[in-house]
Amino acid sequence: MLRRSEVATAFRVAGFVSISALVVLSLVPGTMRPHVLGSGNAEHFLAYAGTTFLLGLGCVPRTTAVFVSMLSAAAAFVELLQNWIPGRSPGFDNFVSSSMGALVGAAVAISLATLVRKVAMPPIER
């Protein structure tokens, strides 16, 4: 059986791999970027929500809040960099979708982790 620390490490690793994928997919030329959903904003939201969800399950809540801030700043930075990438155009709406996704993903992860802890470790009766 896996220990809790091993599971947390696996979630953190998956989160960092996801960050790498976000950066690569944000900076490739427009013709090379895959489109999974009909809306770019939905893609941004889900990608950032999934990333912070993974990081949130692998970290303590305080660290997860830092990741939300860092991912939001990274979203703004890669949107600015898209000015110089062929076939890409930056958009404030993409930045907002990414940032909101990061926030929602973190909230869901923190809520789920709290619920699991309460179920797995019921309060001590006196």
| Full DSSP string of 11-23 | HHHHHHHHHHHHH
pTM of the full structure: 0.89
| Full DSSP string of 37-91 | SS-HHHHHHHHHHHHHHHHHHHS-HHHHHHHHHHHHHHHHHHHHHGGGSTT----
**For residues 18 and 54, is the Cβ–Cβ distance under 8 A?**
yes
Both tokens of 59, joined, read 């970290």
**For residues 75 and 98, is the Cβ–Cβ distance under 8 A?**
yes
Q: Return per-residue pLDDT of the chain as tens, 126 residues.
A: 668 788 889 999 999 999 999 999 999 997 888 888 878 899 999 999 999 999 999 988 888 889 999 999 999 999 999 999 998 889 999 999 999 999 999 999 999 988 887 887 766 665
Q: Of 62, 66, 54, 63, which Cα lies nearest the Cα of 16?
A: 54
